[in-house]
Chains A and B, each alone.
Chain A
Amino acid sequence: MTSIDTPALPRDASTLPSRPAISPTLVALRQFCRSPSGVAGAAVLLILVLTTVFGPHFYGIDPLDLVDAPFTPPGEDAWLGTDYLGRDILAGLIHGGRATLTVGGVAAIITIAIGVTIGSLSGFFGGVIDTALVKITEFFQILPPLLFAMVLVTLFGQTLTTVTIAIGVVSWPTAARLTRAEFLRLRNLDFVKASRAAGAGNGHLILRVVLPNALPPIIVSATMAIGVAILFEGGLSFLGLGDPNTMSWGLMIGQNRNYVLDGWWTVIFPGAAIFVAVLAISLIGDGINDAINPRLRKRG
């Protein structure tokens, strides 16, 4: 152990791969494309989105127009029949999908935005901030979400915006707890300390160092949040707390719920639409989960 002064330092390039690896994001994307259920879900969701975006141009019937006799069964007059007022069900599905999917997407964004903000501050700083934020999270978590959303919608008016915000406001605690747990796990790892030593401030550490590494489970939870929000919108509308002036899948079910036995098509078709959309989103969520969690990959 005395020959410390070896004159030349051997270069250490022997085993270096010649080509850089693709980034972790691309690896996950590639993996996702290999999961059949994930791809199927993505395809179904894409079809749904395209239908609601471009459908109205091809199927020019206004969903709120009374086009035929009430309870016209599916047939040549109206492909999927008409509801209790004589409004076209297919037009309702196409136009209502816009509202429903938008509510789902925006509510999920609100959920994740609030949840990730609170969870990351809580997990990163710890101490008093953590205690306070966890108490707030728990307060929101013990409120029954549907009841709380109903109160909010009743208080602030039955518009699509209120419904969206209400859904976002009641469903963030799960995301917050998930984010907090990830931050607690990551914040003491050496590379976070190394970044601090390299001159990173708290903002940089949270946004650029810890959050990107905490992101995979958050993305899965965001995907699932879209499905939950769509179901929530359906539930609120079913209880008569949706926006009565905007056609949505939930509204169709809610308004026709008393006539299920007179015209099954008035409720079954929007119900099936919600089912298919939520199923597709769940499959995507599963696909992403498998793609970013290597231990689950073998499961197929």
Chain B
Amino acid sequence: MSGGLPALTRPAEDRTDVLLDVNDLVVHFPAGRRGILGPPSKVHAVDGVSFRVRRGTTFGIVGESGSGKSTTAQAVIRLIPATSGQIVFDGENIADFRGERLRLARSKFQIVFQDPFSALDPRRRAGELIREPLDLLNIGSPKEREARVRQLLEEVGLPPQAADLFPHQFSGGQRQRLCIARAMAPEPDLIVCDEAVSALDVAIQAQILNLLKKLQRERGLTYIFISHDLGVIQHFCDDIAVMYLGKIVEQAPAPVRAILGAAPPL
């Protein structure tokens, strides 16, 4: 780390620099209907969730399987359509964005998925995959994009020749590094880590967590970090929310251990 960077400290409790403010987010999935004329039934995947994420911090969401963690996070970055609610990102309600406006806004919020094996298109080389957001969002000239790909590979600790390889030639941890490089490419403010380390073995988990921390320190990134691993959540996150059946049942800054006891046993 270069010396001039500010040390990671827990920001004070001021609410001035809120990057993301989610208000009463609801996501329902249709689940068929009873009979032909019966009322359509719905699954209440996320049922009125509100939270705030401060800039440069990590917001953790824990909860058991099916509690709506991933749905919440993916709805927040508009990958799953939200039924209702406000998603105020950097002062703008992105829940209302449509079409081209939404597409271009995507450079500001990215995602790293749980399974690095299915999150990379098997038919394309690593370099192309990292370049994709730059090409699609029209960031920089073709030459700058090439340089940026090399720089990103360097930042996530992969050699430049990795750009020519196909995803199946990497190990799980290396693929997750690729996913992180790709998410970093358009210089987002927010990265959703959707169980980003859950599929990796413990040693690799620590590497990836360190990488995420390093990137956060260097670039002031904000994370929404989803996990069911309480240990990981506890030391990685600044604020923690516990979800259960589509609702946030507890929410507190990380040092508070009581809420972890409230999470359903895993």
Chain A residues with CB under 8 Å of chain B are 1-2, 4-7, 9-13, 15-18, 20-21, 23-24, 189-191, 193-201, 204, 209, 212-213
Contacts and interface: CB of A to CB of B under 8 A. Distances in A.
A197 B158 contact: no
Nearest to A212: B123
Interface in B76-131: 77, 79, 100, 103-104, 106-107, 109-111, 113-115, 118-123, 125
B227 to A, nearest CB: 13
Contacts of A18: 161
Interface in B212-260: 213-214, 231-232, 234-236
15 contacts: A10-B207, A12-B177, A16-B162, A23-B166, A189-B118, A193-B74, A194-B119, A197-B106, A197-B109, A197-B110, A197-B111, A198-B137, A199-B103, A199-B133, A201-B100
A190 B168 CA distance: 15
Contact of A191 (B110, B121, B213): B121
B76 to A, nearest CB: 12
A10 B211 CA distance: 9
Contact of A6 (B74, B132, B133, B210): B210
Interface in B122-172: 122-123, 125, 132-133, 136-137, 157-159, 161-162, 164-166, 168-171
B50 interface: no
Interface of B: 1, 74, 77, 79, 100, 103-104, 106-107, 109-111, 113-115, 118-123, 125, 132-133, 136-137, 157-159, 161-162, 164-166, 168-171, 173-174, 177, 179, 182-183, 185-186, 206-207, 209-211, 213-214, 231-232, 234-236
A204 B157 contact: no
A190 B118 contact: yes
Contacts of B125: 20
A17 B169 contact: yes
A1 B231 contact: yes
A193 B162 contact: no
B121 A195 contact: yes
A204 B114 CA distance: 24
A7 B231 contact: no
Contact of B106 (A9, A16, A198): A198
B210 A191 contact: no
A226 to B, nearest CB: 25
Contacts of B177: 12
Nearest to A11: B157
Contacts of A6: 206, 210
A191 B118 contact: yes
B235 A1 contact: yes
Given A1-B235, A198-B182, A213-B121, A204 B171 contact: no
B166 A20 contact: yes
A213 B113 CA distance: 19
Contacts of A191: 118-122
CB-CB nearest 4 A-B residue pairs: A198-B133, A199-B136, A20-B164, A190-B119
> Which of A23, A24, A193, A213 neighbours the largest number of chain B CB atoms within 10 Å of its CB?
A193
B137 A197 contact: no
B174 A209 contact: no
Contacts of A212: 123
A199 B107 contact: yes
Contact of B132 (A4, A9, A21, A198): A198
Contact of B122 (A16, A17, A196, A213): A213
Given A197-B79, A198-B182, A9 B170 contact: no
A6 B207 CA distance: 9
A15 B1 contact: no
Contacts of B121: 191, 195, 209, 213
A20 B169 contact: yes
Contacts of B164: 20
A61 B110 CA distance: 69
B165 A199 contact: no
B186 to A, nearest CB: 7
Contacts of A213: 121-123
B182 A194 contact: yes
A1 B168 CA distance: 31
A16 B231 CA distance: 30
